[in-house]
Amino acid sequence: MSGTENLWDQIFQDKPVSEARLANLRLNVMRQITEHPQDFQGQLLLAARKRWGMILVGLFAFGGLLAPFFVLINGYFLAELIKYAAGKVILILIDIKPVITFLWDNYSLYLLSVLVLLVVLYRSENRTMDGRGAN
């Protein structure tokens, strides 16, 4: 193992770095940082605002996209419901039509006679009430 490590050391031998150049590098970096400092708090705040803005825009866009879809779905179900209800009513009407026809054929004269009698009685009653029958 030490032989291999020795080999790595030989292969990857680093040339020494001048301390003066390193100090110079550090000074240059720090000088530029001091001259142009970054406002990290402002950047973080801006990033947070951007993130929330994006979330809101995304939500609105998502809602805008989904709204017509919901309207379509709801409209479809409503139409289906109306069709279903109307179909049921028509079926009931079809079923009771012979009954109504039968009743009308047999009892229409009696029914009309009773109705006419009721109307005549109602009108004569009204005339008595408003005094015209007294004259």
Residues of this chain that bind other proteins (CB under 8 A): 3-4, 6-8, 10-15, 17, 21-22, 25-26, 28-30, 32-34, 37-38, 40-41, 43-44, 47
Q: How far is the CB of 57 from other proteins (least distance, A)?
A: 21
d(CA 48, CA 41): 10
d(CA 121, CA 111): 15
- CB distance 133 to 124 below 8 Å: yes
Q: Which residue number, 11 or 89, has a Cβ lying nearer to other proteins?
A: 11
Q: How far is the CB of 17 from other proteins (least distance, A)?
A: 5
Q: Which residue number, 2 or 135, has a Cβ lying nearer to other proteins?
A: 2
Q: How far is the CB of 33 from other proteins (least distance, A)?
A: 5
101, HSE (Cβ side, Cα atoms, 13 Å) = 6
Residue type, 119: V
Q: How far is the CB of 3 from other proteins (least distance, A)?
A: 4
d(CA 128, CA 70): 64
